[in-house]
A and B are shown apart, each in its own frame.
Chain A
């Protein structure tokens, strides 16, 4: 049973527009969340994190929102750039080493 779900396998967005990637989780014990970005033939690289004590964390063009009651988090990229085209994974942990990853969303930013 997938504890972390990314229900959209792919997303296409025009350059300059907002990209919104979604992630749902089922385990209420999860208290730390990460987003990773992955380019082809490379390993995932850490992008941004959020703790359950916050509902928003911002880093430049990237903002992660956490809705604990809905068990939902989202990654906003504004403005989207062609270089943002990649697969994005969300991951969650219940305060341990064990991060549970979603299946990823492939973002394509169209020039």
Chain B
């Protein structure tokens, strides 16, 4: 298995532009998570999907952020309009069953820089 695949690896964009981050979870995993990593706050959960349905989006910072999971093999995180404070590394992770205790499998992340 190729693991969780995220694209792009790096994204530099200008303030006000739309940014779309993509994620392909591990086949068969029914839970998908988007996390954001910053120096000050560490890894923060943005949104959790289970069986393609958003279950918890309480971590999404504001209305500029939106996430979709149209099918079991693809998810997007969109920021529109982007702002410099959105600069961070965004991780997607998937899990077969969070209750197994093995945690999540993370992708390699997308480093977003908004200038």
Interface residues of A (CB under 8 A from B): 2, 4, 6, 32, 34, 36, 41-46, 49, 51, 89, 91, 93, 96-104
CB–CB A44/B106 < 8 A: yes
Question: Are B108 and A103 in contact, CB atoms less than 8 angstroms apart?
Answer: no
The reply to whether A101 and B42 contact each other, CB–CB distance below 8 Å, is yes
The answer to whether A103 and B40 touch (CB under 8 A), given A43-B91, A43-B109, is yes
Determine the distance from Cα of A91 to Cα of B103 in the docked complex, in whole angstroms.
9
Residue of A with least CB distance to B40: A103
Contacting residues, chain B, for A104 (C-beta < 8 A) = 42-43
For residue B74, which residues in chain A have a CB less than 8 angstroms away from its CB?
Answer: none
Contact between A49 and B31 (Cβ–Cβ < 8 Å)?
Answer: no
B106 contacts A43, C-beta separation under 8 Å? yes
A44 touches B91 (CB 8 A): yes
Check A41 against B42 for contact (C-beta < 8 Å).
Answer: no
CB pair A98 B56 closer than 8 Å = yes
B104 within 8 A of partner (CB): yes
Q: A98-B45, A99-B45 are in contact. Are A43 and B93 (CB under 8 A)?
A: yes
Does B41 touch A at the CB level, under 8 Å? yes
